[in-house]
Amino acid sequence: MSSFRFFVYLFSALLHLWGASAFAGHTTDQTDEVIHQEAPQAGSSASPLYEILAYRLQPGEQLTFDGIPDEPFWSRAVPATSFTMQEPEEGAVPNQRTEVFVAYDDNYLYIAAMLYDDDPDGILAFQKRRNAALGTDDRFMFILDTFNTQRNAYFFETNPNGLLGDGLLTVGQGVSLNKSWNGIWDVRTHVGDWGWSLEIRIPFRSLDFDRSAGHWGINFQRTIRRTNEEIVWAGWQRNQGLFRPAAAGRLTGLRNPSQGLGLEIKPYATGSGTSLRSPGTAADYSGSADAGFDLSYSITPGIRASLTVNTDFAETEVDQRRINLTRFPLFFPEQRDFFLEGANIFSFASSSGVTPFFSRRIGLAEGRPVPITAGLRVLGRTENYTLGLYQIRTGETSAVPAEDFTAARYIQNFGARSSLGFLYTRRNALGHSDAFHTFGTDLGLNTSRFLNDKNLEFESFFLWHNDPREASESSDADRIAYGFRLNFPNFPFYGHVSYRQLGQAYNPELGFTSRNSFRRLNPNIGYTWVAENNPIIRSANVSLSYTWLTDLSGRTELSSIFLQFLNLRLESGEQFWGSLTHAYEFLPVSFDLLRDGRFIIDEGSYTTTRMFLGMSTASFRRVVLYTGFAREGFWDGMRNQYEASLTLRPYPGINVSGSWNRDAISLDAGSFNTDLFRFSGNFDLSPYIAVTSIIQYDNMSEMLGMFNRLRWTLTPGSDLFLVYTRNWIQLEDRFTPLETQGAIKLNYTYRI
């Protein structure tokens, strides 16, 4: 049986499975219907208990925005109080009391919380920077599913310092949280002898929502970091949780909130200066000033169109440096906010390892900026569908011609949590009639009712692209890719099986592909054990994975077994890891390991074994240490890998870390070491003033790079950036400067 025919049979069987188990007995996909049709089970979160009424402020009532919910109207709002412990003891009564209130007026949604704590001196709050990871701090999080899709939601979080954290949550094959969405909202907090409290103010203009909806999905979660206690309102089971909108409670009572005209104007101005020099030559100085704008308009309450003119990315952080010791290109993630805001929408078959649309193909060439003259972006979600569109024109440089880029995405929702998506991309140089096209479709079938209360997720995809180049000899069949993934993300058992096939000429022009011409099968199974009421151990995890990869003729190119025998988390927060990998790899052609002719890896068969051990101290400590060591067979020799990082947090808002990675490699042709050093410092005076410093060096390029950025948020949505970068090259025993650049950028957001 061919792999494609097997794929079709499996797809048909899964459709039958979903029809028989996931949708049986259900005539609607609305959460409120499910709640009222089914009697809640004991301990179930699907209960009318998880409903909160938003209090509407009356004339004369207003919020004193200070983080203390002591205004009289808060006493008239009914709080959410039925919180349940998720960790460390699932279903237990929390050790601390939590109360959450919701109110609103014509323009704002207000969230307030009283987070009681009988040990206020034990409250932890290190972070101040926007969207900083809060694995170190006490925190409060919530989601808003404003279209009741049970697939997508807005995510918000804060800590006792008043940090602003937000993102766009998407649930399909697993959970995706895009924290590059920076909504306009604000928060104030207060710490007292009873615990801490907060008040959050979100303009309705910052949210897309269905005005006709009777309710929104909403959920809350609190973390007490010193005990690593997770407290959840609705969906507190480990199989569910905050990041599963299908398990959320309901927010009712919203009547006629205003989004204004839905028009947003964001002009910017920037100035920069650059110094370039080659070793032994004088510096070449240049400077420039520029301006541009983004104009956004809400076509409907859920769909927003944006026009960008003379787009600038001066504030974008540098890529994290890496050393490539493989025969495939490295993937570097997108860093530019303009593209990151739509990343969830354009994610295609997200768990299947294909990237038919890679936004770094636009406005970048060999890591260097290419000017974006103008662009149109349309992003939107409704209860029934999701859509996205990029139409962008880039300018001409000495390296590339002026080009037009198109990327379009449409996802149709059906059932309770399933969807069918389509993708189209186009790239062509101006003045050329031949264009590169890519077409794709992906299917997601998801249920949280498999075997009554388990999650089951199925994903499949199909892709094809053309090749208009005259020299191309590939056929249509050579340029297709398809595959599937069946995922069982549950507690305590979890697992998945995936398959994908890429044709021998598959390489979409606007996508990213590290390799093609293969078939890959990957099953995985794991088990998580939680030690409740154990004073030392919090949890342990083991997993087993197998990867089988062949070329299109069936010849095995990779057969690998991975065993994670140790993933141990202590009650104190320390973690330990251990794994073994045994692999057979066939190398069809030789390759140059360092791209300099010194170390040629010959074609042939190689069998290797890898052992890894690592440990980390608890992330919430002022001093955090991570170390890791791996020893493995490496082609015809051996490789020892060393990893170490140290993070210091002497005061709230100050985070300083340094890391070192070494590969010590011994081959038949000789030995060498690679070293990569990275230093980063975050110095945050407040949640609105942040300084970032990054220094990187590796001994392969012998390049030392420094990046510094000040971000001052003048008002939510309006920022001042100061950026300074410098690069040196190591010549003998000293560093010679190559490039120095400084930039200033100011943007302002005006809403109507």
Tokens encoding 420: 């069918």
Structural class in CATH, domain 517-686: mainly beta
Residue 665: the pLDDT is 98
Nearest-5° Cα angle at 68, 63 to 69: 60
- DSSP letter for 226, please: G
* Nearest residue to 623 via CA among 654, 595, 602: 654
Residue 284: the pLDDT is 87
Q: How far apart are CA 287 and CA 273, in angstroms?
A: 4
Residue 5: the pLDDT is 52
Q: How far apart are CA 276 and CA 741, in angstroms?
A: 9
Distances from the Cα of 309 to the Cα of 293, 314, 372, 405, 743, angstroms:
6, 15, 8, 15, 19
Distances from the Cα of 444 to the Cα of 168, 409, 421, angstroms:
19, 15, 8
Residue 3: the pLDDT is 52
Tokens encoding 346: 């354009």
pTM of the complete model: 0.86
Tokens encoding 623: 């001093």
- E-strand stretches of 60-107: 84-87, 98-104
* Nearest residue to 105 via CA among 219, 251, 255: 255
Q: How far apart are CA 403 and CA 434, in angstroms?
A: 12
Nearest-5° Cα angle at 727, 646 to 337: 75
Q: How far apart are CA 415 and CA 400, in angstroms?
A: 46
Residue 66: the pLDDT is 95
- What does the longest C-alpha to C-alpha distance in the chain come to? 82
* Nearest residue to 623 via CA among 661, 574, 578, 679: 574
For every residue of 598-648, DSSP letters joined together read: S-EEPSEEEEEEEEEEEEE--TTSSEEEEEEEEEEEETTEEEEEEEEEEEE
Query: What number of other Cβ atoms are within 10 A of residue 430's Cβ?
Result: 12
Cβ–Cβ < 8 Å for 88, 229:
yes
Q: Phi/psi zone of residue 548: left (φ > 0), alpha (ψ -120 to 50 degrees), beta? A: beta
Which residues does the chain have with pLDDT short of 50?
Answer: 1, 4, 6-11, 13-17, 19-47
Three-class SS string for 498-530? EEEEECCCCCCCCCECCCCCEEEEEEEEEEEEE
* Nearest residue to 693 via CA among 656, 668, 748, 652: 656
Q: Which residues contact 70 (CB under 8 A, 6 or more apart)?
A: none
Residue 48: the pLDDT is 55
Tokens encoding 98: 């939590």
Where in the chain are the domains?
Answer: 1-27+333-491, 40-252, 517-686
Where do we find the tokens 């002591």?
Answer: 70
* Nearest residue to 422 via CA among 378, 387, 382: 387
Q: How far apart are CA 364 and CA 62, in angstroms?
A: 48
Residue 528: the pLDDT is 96
Q: Right CATH number for 40-252 from 1.10.4190.10, 2.60.40.10, 2.60.40.1190, 3.40.630.30?
A: 2.60.40.1190
Q: How far apart are CA 645 and CA 633, in angstroms?
A: 25
Where do we find the tokens 């009681």?
Answer: 116
Q: How far apart are CA 119 and CA 103, in angstroms?
A: 29
Cβ–Cβ < 8 Å for 344, 359:
no
Determine the residue type at 486. L
3-state class of 557 per DSSP?
strand
Q: Which residues contact 342 (CB under 8 A, 6 or more apart)?
A: 377, 379, 388, 390
Residue 146: the pLDDT is 93
Determine the residue type at 30. Q
Q: How far apart are CA 298 and CA 307, in angstroms?
A: 12
Rounded to 5 degrees, φ, ψ at 742 are -130, 145
